[in-house]
Amino acid sequence: MKVVLLNGSRREAGCTYTALSVVADVLKENGVDAEIIHAVPTDDVVKAVAEKVKEADGLVVGSPVYWASPSGEIISFMDKLAGAAGSALIHKPAAAVASARRAGTTATLDVLNKYFAYHQMPIVSSNYWNVVHGNTPDEVKQDAEGMQIMRVLGRNMAWLLKCIEAGKTAGITAPETEAKVMTNFIR
């Protein structure tokens, strides 16, 4: 099993990466491979990520809060990824993570979760909003509640992936979908 984690920050190793690293570490501790990718919205990067997402079992998308919403980079990336990966996203568990100095995190989660809902992706949650607070990676690491939320998110994603795999082993398949019709509307 594998999860792709997208870092939608302009800073490759900033606060968002710090939060995603905690999720990735917990996934690995639970036997799930995890790869964090800096989501630069160029056509080549989007195409490469689309191929990785097609092979992956789950997706986590992280973004800092800029002007009370996700970064423009991750919005552009997700728009392009929806077209490039399309129906391959359907039924893959996904989670959104937001990092902020103070406010705007729930609005950011709302925007990111809409990509998942549109693609019929089960949305993985934690025991509170999937957010961390801090102005630097060190401040994020000091956000005890945020770090705990990221650990619970990693465990919940690993658990859901194992449940889905157990279901497949037992012969249970995902419901039929009108993916061909749906992807015709993604542009």
Return all residues near 68 (Cβ < 8 A) that are at least 6 apart: 103, 104, 107, 108
Number of domains comprising the chain = 1
pLDDT in tens, 129-152: 999 999 999 999 999 999 999 999
Task: For Cα atoms 63, 160, 37, give the angle at the middle one, nearest 5 degrees.
Answer: 30
CB 63 within 8 Å of CB 98: yes
Range of the domain at 31: 1-168
Residue 75 lies in a domain: yes
- Do the domain assignments include residue 173? no
The answer to whether residue 15 is domain-embedded is yes
User: Measured between alpha carbons, how far apart are the two ends of the chain, in Å?
Assistant: 30
Res 133: pLDDT: 98
pLDDT tens across 43-97, in order? 999 999 999 999 999 999 999 999 999 999 999 999 999 999 989 999 999 999 9
- Whether 184 is covered by a domain: the verdict is no
Residue 97 lies in a domain: yes
Chain mean position to CA 125 = 11
Asked if residue 183 belongs to a domain, the reply is no
The mean pLDDT of 105-127, rounded to a whole number, is: 97
Nearest to 1 by CA among 25, 34, 23: 34
CATH of residue 38's domain is 3.40.50.360
